[in-house]
């Protein structure tokens, strides 16, 4: 009897250890090395239209009676996007990697809105409509800073979705995400608006602003799909989620009001016009302070200055640390980028910077950012 008890005790101990191991994440997968730069994206398949404008925001449609009605109205306008990207293994051998995302039809002529990160670096892009038809797609324009892109397929009379006014959203309002979750086809998930006007830094030098936080599940493949209200209007473009242990219901969408002018410029010009100083920046960190013997421990460190740019004409040089623009402190590279984008093309700005142990002031006239 004692022997059987010992066996039962050992089995129970093993089960407990295994449970603790699984719960605490004892299994690790080594991250693959960073791949080299991807090849350029596909060519644009159609010229941009300088006269193209979005229709007025809806906001006047009455709420539909239930989720079924919302999905029936919006789903025909949602597309699945599949991409092929050339990447490299640890032996620097190229191989093709497939990706999946979502998008939505913004006009009957075949313009489709999605996220920039869905199509960035893609060698080929394929769009599948709700009725099963598949088309190759070209990139009309993309903007990495706002994570938005517009594609074009060669088809007409497509079912375009209505765009709503995101400024009318209220916390607690029902919303739906509709998209190509996990690359398994178009699905719909419900949730509420949890928070408004959220800003999230998604990478060094890139922060997304005026985001809508939602409890509606956002899974891989949902990126670029619409977040819609109960009137069946697009009030956001699903973009990012926070994924961590014990974190649930924190998905984010770019608000429709933020996206509207970006989408219009992408279709009209193929790129977004912004003020330009002509510098490449990085945030001052401790190793930069030590490496370059900087006199300050915060600011925007200049790594490159474009020839004949406003910064070049103002006398800025690599190694300078910009600490304010027009009297507003720029403690990070992101602070300076945001300050520049909040200014106007042709505006003269006052720049305070450190060069070695000397604090200096100069003035620059911001120019229009050159086309990509």
307 is catalytic: no
117 is catalytic: yes
Residues 218/228, Cβ–Cβ less than 8 Å:
no
Residues 234/163, Cβ–Cβ less than 8 Å:
yes
Phi/psi of residue 336, nearest 5 degrees: -70, -40
Residues near 167 by beta carbon (within 8 Å), at least 6 away in sequence: 257
How many degrees, rounded to 5, is the angle at CA 186 between CA 252 and CA 268? 65
Distance CA 208, CA 87 (A): 27
Among candidate residues 223, 255, 256, 324, the one labeled active-site is 223
Distance CA 147, CA 243 (A): 19
Among candidate residues 77, 102, 117, 165, the one labeled active-site is 117
Distance CA 324, CA 312 (A): 17
Residues 41/139, Cβ–Cβ less than 8 Å:
yes
Q: Which long-range contacts (CB under 8 A, 24 or more apart) does 357-360 make?
A: 357/295, 359/295
Nearest to 331, CA basis, from 279, 283, 292: 283
Token pair, residue 161, equals 């979705």
Distance CA 179, CA 217 (A): 11
147 is catalytic: yes
What is the H or E stretch that residue 339 is in?
helix 333-341
Residue 216: burial class (beta carbons within 10 Å; 0-12, 13-18, 19+): buried
CA dihedral 12, 18, 20, 23 (to 10 degrees): -140
Sign of CA dihedral 305, 306, 307, 313: negative
Nearest to 342, CA basis, from 169, 207, 200: 207
Distance CA 342, CA 346 (A): 13
Among candidate residues 143, 147, 320, 335, the one labeled active-site is 147
Catalytic site positions? 117, 147, 223
């Amino acid at each position: 009897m004692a022997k059987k008890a010992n066996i039962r005790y050992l089995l129970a101990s093993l089960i407990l250890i295994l449970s603790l191991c699984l719960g605490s994440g004892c299994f690790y997968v080594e991250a693959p090395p960073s791949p080299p730069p991807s090849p350029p994206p596909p060519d644009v398949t159609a010229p941009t239209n300088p006269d193209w404008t979005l229709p007025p925001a809806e906001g006047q449609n009455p709420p539909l009676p239930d989720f079924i009605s919302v999905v029936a109205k919006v789903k025909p306008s949602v597309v699945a996007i599949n991409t092929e990207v050339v990447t490299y293994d640890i032996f620097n051998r190229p191989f093709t990697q497939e990706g999946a995302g979502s998008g939505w039809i913004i006009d009957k002529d075949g313009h489709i809105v999605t996220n920039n990160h869905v199509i960035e670096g893609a060698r080929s892009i394929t769009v599948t409509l709700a009725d099963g038809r598949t088309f190759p797609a070209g990139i009309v324009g993309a903007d990495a800073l706002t994570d938005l892109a517009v594609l074009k397929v060669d088809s007409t009379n497509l079912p375009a979705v209505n765009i709503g006014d995101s400024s009318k959203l209220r916390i607690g309002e029902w919303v739906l995400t509709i998209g190509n979750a996990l690359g398994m086809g178009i699905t719909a998930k419900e949730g509420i608006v949890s928070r408004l006007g959220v800003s999230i830094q998604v990478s060094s030098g890139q922060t997304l602003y005026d985001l809508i936080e939602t409890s509606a599940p956002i899974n891989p493949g949902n990126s670029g799909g619409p977040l819609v209200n109960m009137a069946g209007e697009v009030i956001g473009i699903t973009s990012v989620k926070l994924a961590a242990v014990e974190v649930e219901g924190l998905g984010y969408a770019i608000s429709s009001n933020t996206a509207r002018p970006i989408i219009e410029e992408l279709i009209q010009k193929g790129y977004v016009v912004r003020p330009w100083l002509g510098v490449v920046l990085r945030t001052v960190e401790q190793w930069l302070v030590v490496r370059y013997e900087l006199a300050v421990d915060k600011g925007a460190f200049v790594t490159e200055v474009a020839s004949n740019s406003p910064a070049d004409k103002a006398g800025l040089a690599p190694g300078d640390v910009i600490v304010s623009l027009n009297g507003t402190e720029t403690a990070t590279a992101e602070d300076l980028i945001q300050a520049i984008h909040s200014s106007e093309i042709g505006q003269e700005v006052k720049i305070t910077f450190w060069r070695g142990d000397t604090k200096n002031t100069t003035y620059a006239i911001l120019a229009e950012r050159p086309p990509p």
